[in-house]
Amino acid sequence: MEGETLDGRYKLGEELGRGGHGVVYRAEDLQTGTEVALKRLRKQVSDDPQLPARLLREAQSLASLWGTSVTRIHAFGTDPEGALYVAMELLDGESFEAHLQDLECFGDRLSSYNLLTLLDPIARALHTAHALGIVHRDVKPANLFLVSPERGGGVRLLDFGLAQVLGFEALTAENKPDGSPSYVAPEAWRGEPLDHRADVYAFGAVVYRALAGRAPFQGDSLADLSLAVTTAPRPELASIRPDLAPEIDAWAARALAADPNQRHPYIPTLWNDLIRVMMNGKGPSADRVRQTFRLPG
């Protein structure tokens, strides 16, 4: 499709990546002269006749999140084959997943200060969305993007509108989910209805991964992973991160609770509890946390 022009407006360039729902291209907006990221949804996804209207409604609701770290969506359309595409803000940099993998290759981990600095805008964006009744449903390191310093730096939360509209089907050990199952809330594996607390769990799992160098639960199969996520003891952090205060284990147990009623009820609750724990840590990074961050009240 490189070189083609969609709707007389978007001239496609190189492929930037692909995932469970589609392929992303660099494209030029011929009306404005700016570059955008154009995501072409797979045909089996686009075949839903109600999808365009649902995406439009979602874009209208997401307009209230512009100015946060949520990636901005510009337009929707269909290509000559009838597949739906989404034009969105073009980002240069790397995913949080790639950033963590680079650190882990050298046996390194994010410091408490760097983690709080990187993810604070994501916590704020999720809180704003939840207050508006919008749930992401697919929070994971691959959907967080670190913008290169040459483009202004910062972090973005990707695929917010798509995750909400495309939905999040109940998972079972026999039904492999799109994306990474390591950040899926226990209630999704059990086939229960989902609310914003599924995002709370996923965000807690992202934090755990960044601090520990691995996802909170592992399994040789989806059945094993499902069993671990829903029934295994909650994982600990203090033994592998002596720079953190011992309360980090209680934080992880609550953030990753199998019962959503036992979990942090909201993103700010989870985030402020984490800041409090980080303030009680040891070393230069904890010192910087105490100097930089403030807790309400």
Helix locations, 14-142, DSSP H:
43-46, 51-62, 96-105, 112-131
Position 280 in a domain: yes
Both 103 and 239 in a single domain?
yes
pLDDT of residue 173: 41
pLDDT of residue 84: 81
Both 39 and 168 in a single domain?
no
Only one residue has tokens 């009744």, namely 133
Both 97 and 144 in a single domain?
yes
pLDDT of residue 254: 98
pLDDT of residue 179: 40
Both 50 and 65 in a single domain?
yes
Q: Please tell me which residue in 79, 120, 138, 273 is annotated as part of the active site.
A: 138
Position 297 in a domain: no
Q: Which of 55, 89, 123 is the last residue of a domain?
A: 89
Both 172 and 215 in a single domain?
yes
Number of domains in the chain: 2
Both 43 and 125 in a single domain?
no
* CA geometry: angle 260, 145, 278, nearest 5 deg: 55
Both 79 and 156 in a single domain?
no
pLDDT of residue 214: 93
Only one residue has tokens 């992401």, namely 136
Both tokens of 202, joined, read 């996923």
CA distance 27 to 84: 15
The whole domain housing 73 covers: 5-89
pLDDT of residue 14: 92
- Tell me the pLDDT of the chain (297 aa) as tens digits: 677 888 889 999 999 887 666 788 999 999 999 999 888 877 666 566 666 666 666 666 667 787 788 888 888 877 777 778 888 888 899 999 999 999 999 889 999 999 999 999 999 999 999 998 888 888 999 999 999 998 888 999 987 765 665 554 444 444 444 347 889 999 999 988 889 999 999 999 999 999 999 999 988 888 999 999 999 999 999 999 999 999 999 999 999 999 999 999 999 999 999 999 999 999 999 999 999 999 987
- pTM, rounded to two decimals: 0.86
**CATH, residue 36:** 3.30.200.20
Residue (of 187, 197, 88, 180) closest to 140 by Cα position: 180
Q: Which DSSP helix (H) or strand (E) runs through 16?
A: strand 10-18
Q: What is the pLDDT of residues 153-206, one digit of tens each?
A: 899 998 776 566 555 444 444 444 434 788 999 999 998 888 999 999 999 999
Q: Is 39 annotated as a binding residue?
A: yes
| Residue 48 annotated to the active site | no
